[in-house]
Amino acid sequence: MLKIMRNIGIMAHIDAGKTTTTERILYYTGKSHRIGEVDDGEAIMDWMEQEQVRGITIQSAATTTYWKRTENGPRFQINIIDTPGHVDFTAEVERSLRVLDGAVAIFDAVHGVEPQTETVWHQAERYNVPCIGYVNKMDRAGADFFPVLDDIRAKLGANPVALQIPIGRESGFEGVIDLIEMREIRWDAASEGENMLYSSINSSREALAREWREKLIDALSSVSDALTGKYLAGEELEVAFIRAELRKAVLNRAILPVFAGASRRNMGVQPLIDAVVDYLPAPDEVPPAAGHHLKKEEAVAVPCDPKGTALGLVFKIQNDREAGALCYVRMYSGVFKPGTVVYNIGKKKRERANRILRMHSNKSDPIEELSAGDIGVIIGMKLAQTGDTLGSEGWPVVLEKMQFPEPVISVSIEPKTISDQEKLKEILALLSREDPTFTTRENEETGQLIISGMGELHLDVLVTRIIKDYNIGAKVGNPQVTYRESVSRQVERRETFSRVIAGKENAAALVITVEPEPRGTGNRYSCAVKPSKLKEIPGAVFDAVERGVRGAFASGIVLGYPCIDIGVTLTDIEYSELTGTEFAYEACASLGFDEACRIADPILLEPIMAVDLTSPREFVGDVISLVTQRGGQVVSINSKPQSDEVKALSPMASMFGFMTSLRSVSQGRANFTMEFSHFEKKNEKGAV
């Protein structure tokens, strides 16, 4: 069963054609009976009202379809996750790639490798996900297949190898030449591209086809000794042999096979589905998942085995008004069945899997079991959050968690009526459970609710959901930058705490050291108390100290912004059985942290954004000037045939309203995307 399963994601820059391509895959595999168009707001995978109105993907959508590679061959199960392309929704891509075995990277034939393409490619690299490439929009004005290959090589550091080359270009694009089987493929427009027409290679294109076939064999021989041996011996290279060697190279991420097409015109999709089956891995062909055994305190490998102990990862939570929380789970080992008890290993809580579903966008079908390698939804989990490991008490192994970027932009939100106050808080809690990059907090001084996210579009979408989907009237403030606080020198602090509550004394005393950590490494807590004391004092006391410190990280130092890059070490502790309580030590640790940080020269850090601008050459000077006026710093300029690319770093605070100014200086022809880069000490003048 595992051999005929594929878990894949579709990833690319915004507007490269991810959802359009996915809709064709669903149509040709028989999952849907009509082709849904993004432009008409009818795409099956873009089921949210806002996705249909805005014409973009906001939430990753999962579906399962089936494909026969050959008429008499096995029926492959393909689990597909269609991911968003906008940088504000990068968390959706991150959590999808974490649980997928392979990915299809889509490139725009006109623009090549765009900024968000680089981001998703590096995410795939981090999780070691094998990929195949698809150059879409070959029918568009300015489309050119071959420069895109050069762009992939230069910007992504990949090894792209064309398995097809286009016949014609721009409006004259009519099909592709298959370089493995050496034949031409065209698509019948009358059947919406369902019927493929094969023919021998036209003599006028034969020389070019042979040249690119040689490049394919040459690239493959550099990573395949078996192919090199056959080639040098003058033996014939069979199609099945080439595909088998290509598969090995793709699984090792040594080669990126590239295909061509125009999904909007129903051209090029079926060979792409064949490639998913041919070259992307089955769940048992990827390295075992990395886990950590909580009791043995050691790393363990989790092989993909349906007969093993049950172990799965919650990679997404989605709230459904009728069913409650939908927990999207990727199974790595064993089987979950409906009605069984599931153990949340990190939270040490038992929950019941009431129902298990297979999703098709926002529709679902019940299934009898969710086994290793598969992706499904469990209903009935009230405590599970994104990143939690589900398994059994007898084998407490926690799978590696996902890393999400920090929210960088905030707005205040308040209900129009007092009666909606509690309802709004409940909805914000639901949304933050769904989206790890969306956070909420209450401003202690003003009592305002502050929501934070990845960008203006991200917050705009969430606010629209609150108002429209949940019918709450709310007033939203202007966007504000989400700052962070840290320290700039090392300080040691002895703290004592004593309070009488209900006639009982609660007392604690401890010594902590606070010091700055390298920027971007996050907060650290460690215990360096003498081993003799570790044995004498209950473990619950040390847990309370850690809770106090970690809780204080979130409450800030001077201005109340969350702390980052601070190292805290517990160096000494005094304990009395009569007065020492967990409450006292938690409070003592929190107070000690606050006081130590106030002495350790606290600093304010602001988010710096990586800004990618695309502009016609005649406006590049004005665009660069605009960036530098706002305190930005140009990192590089890259010339392309159609336009110039400018990469810059700029403080988030100076980027509000940037699009209006950019349109003004470029006659509306320049564009930009930005994403969080790092935090840096705030410069009073606003420059990086």
| C-alpha span between 686 and 688 (Å, rounded) | 7
Q: Which of 95-99, 189-193, 523-527 has the highest mean pLDDT?
A: 523-527
556 pLDDT band, cuts 50/70/90, is confident
Mean pLDDT of 428-446: 78
Task: Indicate the pairing of strand 566-574 with strand 524-527.
Answer: parallel
Could you report the per-residue pLDDT of 261-289, keeping only the tens digit for each?
A: 999 999 999 999 999 999 999 998 998 88
CA torsion angle 511 516 517 520 (round to 10)? 130
| C-alpha span between 486 and 600 (Å, rounded) | 9
Kindly tell me if the per-residue pLDDT of 521 is higher than 80.
yes
Strand locations in 334-471, DSSP E?
335-336, 341-344, 349-352, 355-360, 363-366, 370-371, 375-379, 389-391, 397-399, 409-415, 439-442, 449-453
Kindly tell me if the per-residue pLDDT of 668 is higher than 80.
no
- The pLDDT assigned to 41 comes to 45
Span of 66-70, 83-87, 631-635, 638-642 with lowest mean pLDDT: 83-87
Kindly tell me if the per-residue pLDDT of 597 is higher than 90.
yes
CA atoms lying within 13 Å on the CB side of residue 52: 10
Mean pLDDT of 363-380: 87
Kindly tell me if the per-residue pLDDT of 57 is higher than 60.
no
Strand locations in 517-584, DSSP E?
524-527, 566-574
Q: Read off the tokens for 379.
A: 């209903």
Q: Which one-letter amino acid corresponds to residue 263?
A: S
Kindly tell me if the per-residue pLDDT of 45 is higher than 70.
no
- The pLDDT assigned to 462 comes to 82
Kindly tell me if the per-residue pLDDT of 687 is higher than 50.
no
Nearest CA among 657, 662, 655 for reference residue 676: 655
Q: How far is CA 536 from CA 119, 506, 540, 581, 654, in A?
A: 50, 19, 12, 15, 54
Mean pLDDT of 496-509: 90
Kindly tell me if the per-residue pLDDT of 80 is higher than 70.
yes
Span of 217-221, 345-349, 448-452 with lowest mean pLDDT: 448-452
49 pLDDT band, cuts 50/70/90, is low
Alpha helices of 70-184 — where are they, by DSSP H? 90-99, 115-126, 145-156
Mean pLDDT of 217-230: 91
569 pLDDT band, cuts 50/70/90, is very high
CA atoms lying within 13 Å on the CB side of residue 576: 11
Kindly tell me if the per-residue pLDDT of 678 is higher than 90.
no
DSSP label of 201: P
| C-alpha span between 528 and 131 (Å, rounded) | 45
- The pLDDT assigned to 491 comes to 93
| C-alpha span between 47 and 318 (Å, rounded) | 13
Kindly tell me if the per-residue pLDDT of 572 is higher than 70.
yes
| C-alpha span between 520 and 123 (Å, rounded) | 17
| C-alpha span between 562 and 450 (Å, rounded) | 13
119 pLDDT band, cuts 50/70/90, is confident
- The pLDDT assigned to 444 comes to 63
- The pLDDT assigned to 585 comes to 93
Listing DSSP states for 306-348 in one string gives TTS--EEEEEEEEEETTTEEEEEEEEEESEE-TT-EEEETTTT
Kindly tell me if the per-residue pLDDT of 673 is higher than 80.
no
37 pLDDT band, cuts 50/70/90, is low
Q: Read off the tokens for 551.
A: 């809780």
Listing DSSP states for 42-97 in one string gives --SS--SHHHHHHTS--S-EEEEEEEESSTTS-EEEEEEEE---SGGGHHHHHHHH
Neighbours of 681 (CB within 10 A): 11
Give the percent of the chain with pLDDT over 90.
Answer: 35
Mean pLDDT of 298-304: 89
Q: Mean pLDDT of all residues in the chain?
A: 85
Mean pLDDT of 642-646: 79
CA torsion angle 376 377 378 380 (round to 10)? -170
Which domains occur in the chain, in start order?
2-285 (3.40.50.300), 289-399 (2.40.30.10), 409-482 (3.30.70.870), 485-600 (3.30.230.10), 604-681 (3.30.70.240)
Span of 390-399, 447-456, 548-557 with lowest mean pLDDT: 447-456
Mean pLDDT of 103-123: 86
Span of 6-15, 67-76, 347-356, 433-442 with lowest mean pLDDT: 433-442
Kindly tell me if the per-residue pLDDT of 320 is higher than 80.
no
Beta-bridge partner residues of 187? 196
Kindly tell me if the per-residue pLDDT of 671 is higher than 80.
no
Mean pLDDT of 413-440: 83
39 pLDDT band, cuts 50/70/90, is very low
Mean pLDDT of 406-414: 80
Which carries the bigger pLDDT value, residue 408 or residue 477?
477
Q: Cα–Cα–Cα angle for 622, 626, 631, nearest 5°?
A: 145
Which carries the bigger pLDDT value, residue 481 or residue 254?
254
- The pLDDT assigned to 473 comes to 83
- The pLDDT assigned to 662 comes to 83
Nearest CA among 163, 381, 360, 383 for reference residue 268: 163
Could you report the per-residue pLDDT of 180-200, keeping only the tens digit for each?
A: 999 999 998 888 888 999 999
Mean pLDDT of 646-668: 83
Residue written as token pair 């038992």 = 350
Span of 50-64, 136-150, 467-481 with lowest mean pLDDT: 50-64
Mean pLDDT of 602-606: 92
